[in-house]
Amino acid sequence: MAERSSNSLTQKKLKLQHSVGVTDIQWDNPDQAQISGDTHVVGRLWYPTTAMSSVSKPEGGKAFWLPDRRYAEGYAAVVFSDNGIGPTVGSCKNFAKSTFSNFTWWMGSSTQLKVIKDVPLKPAQHPYPVVLFSHGTCANRNTYSCICTKLAEEGYVVFSIEHADSTASAVEMAGDRGWQVYAGETREHVHKEFLRYRMKECQTARKMVAALSSGTVPPGVQLTVGKGRTSGPEKGPEPGPLLRQSFKGALDPDRVALAGHSFGASTVSALVAEDPGFPCAIALDPAWALLWADHPALTAWKTSAPLMIIGSHQWHTPKKDGTLVRSGHLQETVLAAASRRQLSIEDGKVEGSAAGGGAVSVVPAGSTHETFTDALVLFAGKTSWLLKMMGLGSGLNPKLGLKLTCEEMLAFLKRHIPEAGSSVSTISSSQKVNGLSKQVATVPLQQEEDAVYKSILGDKCALFKMRT
């Protein structure tokens, strides 16, 4: 078979700090007949490595944007769903859907990422901070590879969760559970159920991080290319024991931040508002309407964790009546809720304070909802005609949009999950989560941070708001 050509993800504009390794992670409780967010989680880990960073001859395996054909089929299911752009009836739909799937598979499976598959984590003096990334509707574990790679270059371990709540384009389920492919839009009340399911998956992912670091992983955890992945550019043997051993003692379970896009942004905002086990969260172009009305994210936070919102010009620039395209007045509600904190009274003791962690909202000028995904950076060249036909584009240069987004995220993360031994002052947020006591140190938002975030965007700042 001829050697497959590949489009390498270039990162010349982003200063390289570490080579980046990736491996897939999955956990399933085989005793459970039905999956739940408490007993099943899958995704991909992105992390610093010492392995050779050569794309042509890496020490580990190669990684591609689409590692399996079923991801292409999932994207085709999205495009040709009832709310998609493709024809929805007749033989024309079937032909167009098949053609789109084949084309997407050809493009995605030949796009090699600048990461190395299944190599050990780089040893470090202190345990690494972790970021759990929650994808948006119709996305998957690789849709935000540009952001995940950049964070890993800068010394973070990223767990990009592939949500099994029916909103992903495709999910490679754990164990022998096969695949889940996108089945179309659902009613609003079902989205609320999906939101809670996603939040549980994030909490389970945090437990997996702690288990990997402690070296006492529960049965069913695998770091592997996936038992169900029998074809595609990443098929291969299960990685050796050195991979798992490299994570032992290397991850900090008390510095696990949250980040997400769209539905994922709503997910992490809802979770950080009520679960004090997370020190901070970053919401990329959130859809606030997916939150239920009495949720702490819209009323008053139960934690002291700060929130960064990076909205798109398309979704988060107010209209003439002051409302946002997808969220109405809810953005202001979230900002206000994040600046207050609920007091809890337990056994006669009052816990908490009168102020929450605060929130900051920035909007890069010209950005769109797709600015935060890989689509415009990886495929805007050869497939610009297709992206335009699908209504995917941006008034902001895609590479610049990625650079600004990553710089804002890194500035926030370095402040709010500081390195071990840092002089940054923290406070403790303590509550019971699922009956278990959990306490992490948080760094509330400070007014002087506004200059940092504004300076990153410079003249590309369309909107800036901060509530401390």
CATH number at residue 285: 3.40.50.1820
User: Which of 14-28, 121-135, 445-459 is the least confident region?
Assistant: 14-28
**Of the spans 149-153, 229-233, 464-468, which averages the highest pLDDT?**
149-153
Residue 188 belongs to some domain of the structure: no
pLDDT tens track for 368-386: 888 999 988 877 666 655 5
Query: Quick one: 58 and 118 in the same domain?
Result: yes
Spatial distance between the Cα atoms of 333 and 298, rounded to a whole number of angstroms: 6
Query: Quick one: 331 and 246 in the same domain?
Result: no
Query: Quick one: 229 and 289 in the same domain?
Result: no
Q: How high is the pLDDT of residue 9?
A: 41
Residue 81 belongs to some domain of the structure: no
Let me know: does 41 contact 27? Beta carbons within 8 Å: yes
Query: Quick one: 365 and 340 in the same domain?
Result: yes
**Of the spans 6-20, 197-211, 369-383, which averages the highest pLDDT?**
197-211
Give the torsion through C-alpha atoms of 43, 382, 385, 311, to 10 deg: 40
Q: Residue 266 in 3-state DSSP? A: helix
Query: Quick one: 238 and 271 in the same domain?
Result: no
Residue 413 belongs to some domain of the structure: yes
Name the token pair of 89.
């009836």
Which of the pair, 341 or 107, is modelled with greater confidence?
107
Q: Does residue 31 register a pLDDT over 60?
A: yes
**Residue-wise DSSP of 200-259:** HHHHHHHHHHHHHHHT-PPTT-EESS-TT--SSTT--PPP-HHHHHTTTTTEEEEEEEEE
User: Which of 26-30, 287-291, 429-433 is the least confident region?
Assistant: 429-433
Query: Quick one: 222 and 317 in the same domain?
Result: no
- The last residue of one of the domains, among 218, 237, 254, is 254
Give the torsion through C-alpha atoms of 268, 393, 185, 317, to 10 deg: 50
Residue 296 belongs to some domain of the structure: yes
Query: Quick one: 214 and 280 in the same domain?
Result: no
pLDDT tens track for 134-157: 999 999 999 999 999 999 999 999
Query: Quick one: 114 and 160 in the same domain?
Result: yes
pLDDT tens track for 317-346: 888 787 877 777 898 999 999 987 665 545
Query: Quick one: 319 and 466 in the same domain?
Result: yes
Spatial distance between the Cα atoms of 277 and 196, rounded to a whole number of angstroms: 16
Query: Quick one: 452 and 468 in the same domain?
Result: yes
Q: Does residue 10 register a pLDDT over 50?
A: no
Residue 349 belongs to some domain of the structure: yes
Domain span holding position 236: 20-74+109-175+207-254
Residue 279 belongs to some domain of the structure: yes
Global pTM reads: 0.87
Residue 352 belongs to some domain of the structure: yes
Query: Quick one: 288 and 402 in the same domain?
Result: yes
Q: What's the number of domains the chain is made of?
A: 2
